[in-house]
Chain A
């Protein structure tokens, strides 16, 4: 008997190639240190509730009632739950074929998909078809499903921004496709230049790759930039000319921290551009309950909306969804509540607005605190976090530091981030996990630590960084 089936040598190569730094080396080291008793500040993943952000009250009330419907019959339920939460729970339960414990339609409950379509219509001013909206266990599952549809083999390429959220690189790897990078311009606030896109596509085609899709992350992760309407038009025209499906990752659409560039959905711009392009460009848009001001990561709730995808293809995608039976029902209800929140006049409206505003305004302040904090550090340059949840400062490592990293057998930004972790307990993700220009180093941190902890975290970082720079530059500041 030779090698066993699950020996390392005989694993699927695509699995071996996958990298996902967000929970990679740094995170594992941080977890080890935490076990040893060190205080760790986890800023490696966009996980707001883990850093003290409280869940919004109303949705938790509604889902708790849906979870335990016997409460609805109890005369004392009004002592614990407001009337609108009770009504909402009854309404959502009536949409299900058997409460939270029954598989729903594989695309998600029709009633909730209708609410999502209505939300999209209010947001964009164009009607949306619930039949083309599929709820998923988190947006990531939707991304994986669509990419798996598009990628036939190594010859198929997907344009992905660099830096990117490594779900894309990991999934393309797993599907056996090719990642075609297009570089965002750090000096232009992580702007997207269509000429870069053209170059990337030309290069890929020269290498025999059929470029089939383009990913945009708007607002960006890790970079935070919000795309302008002009930029979106350019991108849509580009996709039209080059025959690309546009994958619009819009999970951070509620996280906007400046007023010059509010969020505009790719779909709205596409529709605004009119025919023929509005009927020809194929677009899949993704959203989630994990980000925004809800931050309900642990629920695993998301959706994708398809535009201009032929009916037969939609059927195939439906077929794949049906193998997983259905997305989890509690998260579907969270999604319904997110797109259809309390309205003026509702009992819970004021509390809902107060809680939401509180979170968003604080995130806006923290985005500023962090950006300024990084910019005050030696050899650190940081673009402003226009949106999303991250800060992605550039760390200008001195040559001696890069050498020391090599000697330690580590990629330079991993070397830096490990030292940062050991010295301060701040757990970040090295820029190499997201992709960056050769020889340019970054790290990603979230803006999620509690506001009152921010000043200390930033001064702790500054102390470490400035000492590190001193050490490796050999010159006193």
Chain B
């Protein structure tokens, strides 16, 4: 008698969906890591260098001290009653902890909050959004979630009724989107970013893909834009954003704006503009455009991935729809309180004049300038490799170089029954311990190959990474050159 829960009988959408960021290559890397631990000489490298995932603090990035002070005090409020606390914590972190605790009923950080998140924290976030954009934000539009990803899932759940519902996604994309669409039984409608123009987003391409989908009977419901881009790193120009907003308004599409890298911009000629700001500055209000903006505590200069904090700001929806969104949020009761507090800190950090401002801004600027340097160093290193071209990382945390693999390599990959970019990444891993994610995990123009590499290894390690990578690449090309 067949047991009920086998791969042949579980939800086929689960089987179908994929998520390469923690896929095959990473599983192999973990295995190799175990082997080195047991026997240090097992492989031609001392350690695995995880460049597969945007997880800054796992590679030595330090958290922002002020944020952690406040969180520790909120985790253990009885510290605030002790005089010794003033010796160990900054004055303004104590003040901020009091302020936050006063906004939580009974100062009970262990209690479920309102399903959208603690009201006082949403007020702080709304104020932060307004300060950033120059346009008002309503705390009732904000839903605090365990990271931005659950908020994305919620929207896909709402939007996708069947496989006839399509969501426009950039190619290359962060594979949360493809996975979520597959899980909810919808159809991903790809639009291609243009590698030749720094991963440019053309509205003509959006239109073309929209029409193609419609002609196949797909009801396209939303447009996902990741800005700054992941894996591609481009920061959209404001005019570009205006075209995108106009397109969504005209076509009645929900604009899903993934803005989790909004603090990661490394080039002086570009600036982050939220889609909310762009829409409002065009005179578009609630009646004109459905917009959902996602933010997270995992990226930026704070890099607090393990906390699972984030939010979505929803504007342009009727009260009846909002009720359903609230209802969905309420089934999970609420997101973790510590993550909620952190989201409010990220959106309203220390200001000029605050006691912690100088140390806070030194930490922040140190991290951001280091990220910018590492982005440049690695970009240059990739561009020096034979057959490799790499667009600049204007923002985010990744580089997405393109590799022209020789025919011999492609043949060898075929024989190994791996995609060519996966073949390259596997070899790289087994010979150097460096973990990249093959481009096929993100999508790419057919016949082109890429891989994604984070810019996160500590600055001191970068020269060693570059050397190992360069040496490997030379050997690889020697072996497979046409």
Contacts and interface: CB of A to CB of B under 8 A. Distances in A.
Interface of A: 1-8, 10-16, 18-20, 22-24, 45, 47-50, 52, 55, 57, 60-61, 63-65, 67-71, 74, 76-77, 79-80, 96-104, 106, 137-138, 140-141, 144, 148-152, 167, 170-171, 174-175, 212-213, 243-245, 280, 282, 295-300, 308-310, 312-313, 316, 319-320, 322-331
B113 interface: yes
Contacts, number: 294
Contacts of B334: 298, 300
A96 B306 contact: yes
A137 B309 CA distance: 12
Contact of A99 (B9, B63, B149, B221): B63
B257 to A, nearest CB: 14
Interface string B55-79: 1111111010100110111011011
Interface string B72-95: 110110110010110110000000
Contacts of B337: 298-299
Contacts of B7: 310, 312-313, 316
13 contacts: A6-B321, A8-B321, A15-B324, A18-B327, A52-B106, A67-B71, A101-B304, A148-B14, A149-B10, A300-B336, A320-B17, A324-B150, A330-B75
Task: List the 6 closest A-B pairs by CB distance, nearest first.
Answer: A329-B306, A64-B76, A102-B58, A298-B337, A5-B221, A68-B72
B30 to A, nearest CB: 8
Given A64-B75, A243-B4, A328-B339, A47 B307 contact: no
B465 interface: no
B331 A6 contact: no
Contacts of A322: 19, 21-23
Contacts of A13: 161
B53 interface: yes
Given A98-B306, A138-B333, A282-B4, 9 more contacts: A11-B161, A11-B321, A18-B324, A67-B75, A212-B5, A243-B1, A282-B3, A324-B150, A325-B147
A323 B111 contact: no
Contact of A298 (B10, B113, B161): B113
Interface stretch (B204-212, B237-245, B247-255, B385-393): B247-255
B197 interface: no
B290 interface: yes
A1 B5 contact: no
Contact of B306 (A14, A57, A102, A300): A102
Contact of A297 (B157, B324, B333): B333
Contact of A245 (B4, B22, B85): B4
B5 A149 contact: yes
A328 B338 contact: yes
A302 B257 CA distance: 31
B15 A170 contact: no
A63 B76 contact: yes
A100 B335 CA distance: 17
Contacts of A149: 5, 10-11, 14
B312 to A, nearest CB: 13
B75 A296 contact: no
B318 A8 contact: yes
B336 A298 contact: yes
Nearest to A71: B88
B382 to A, nearest CB: 25
Interface size, B (range):
35 or more
A280 B10 contact: no
B308 A328 contact: yes
Interface in B1-53: 1-7, 9-12, 14-15, 17-19, 21-23, 53
Nearest to B3: A282
Given A18-B328, A80-B84, A322-B19, A5 B290 contact: yes
Given A152-B12, A245-B5, A50 B328 contact: no
A5 B159 contact: yes
A299 B336 contact: yes
Given A57-B78, A282-B4, A319-B17, A67 B72 contact: yes
A4 B63 CA distance: 42
A151 B13 CA distance: 10
A41 to B, nearest CB: 13
Contacts of A310: 3, 5-7
Contacts of A96: 306
Contact of A76 (B63, B79, B88): B88
A322 to B, nearest CB: 4
Given A68-B72, A103-B58, A49 B108 contact: yes
A76 B65 contact: no
A49 B77 CA distance: 13
B6 A99 contact: no
A102 B111 contact: no
Contacts of A68: 68-69, 71-72
A304 to B, nearest CB: 13
A313 B6 CA distance: 6
Contacts of A167: 331
Which of A7, A102, A149 has its CB near the most chain B CB atoms (within 10 A)? A102
Nearest to B54: A103
Given A67-B75, A297-B111, A319 B19 contact: yes
Interface in B303-344: 303-308, 316-318, 320-321, 324, 327-328, 330-339
Contacts of B303: 101
Given A298-B109, A310-B5, A7 B333 contact: no
A298 B108 contact: yes
A188 B2 CA distance: 35
Contacts of A7: 318, 321
Nearest to A149: B10
A103 B53 contact: yes
A282 B11 contact: no
Contact of B330 (A22, A74, A151, A295): A22
Given A18-B328, A138-B333, A330-B307, A103 B55 contact: yes
B105 interface: yes
A50 B111 contact: yes
B379 interface: no
A34 to B, nearest CB: 10
B180 interface: yes
Which of A70, A175, A298 has its CB near the most chain B CB atoms (within 10 A)? A298
B157 A77 contact: no
Contacts of B328: 15, 18, 174
Contact of B15 (A60, A299, A316): A316
Interface in B279-321: 290, 298, 303-308, 316-318, 320-321
B176 interface: yes
A300 B335 contact: yes
B129 interface: no
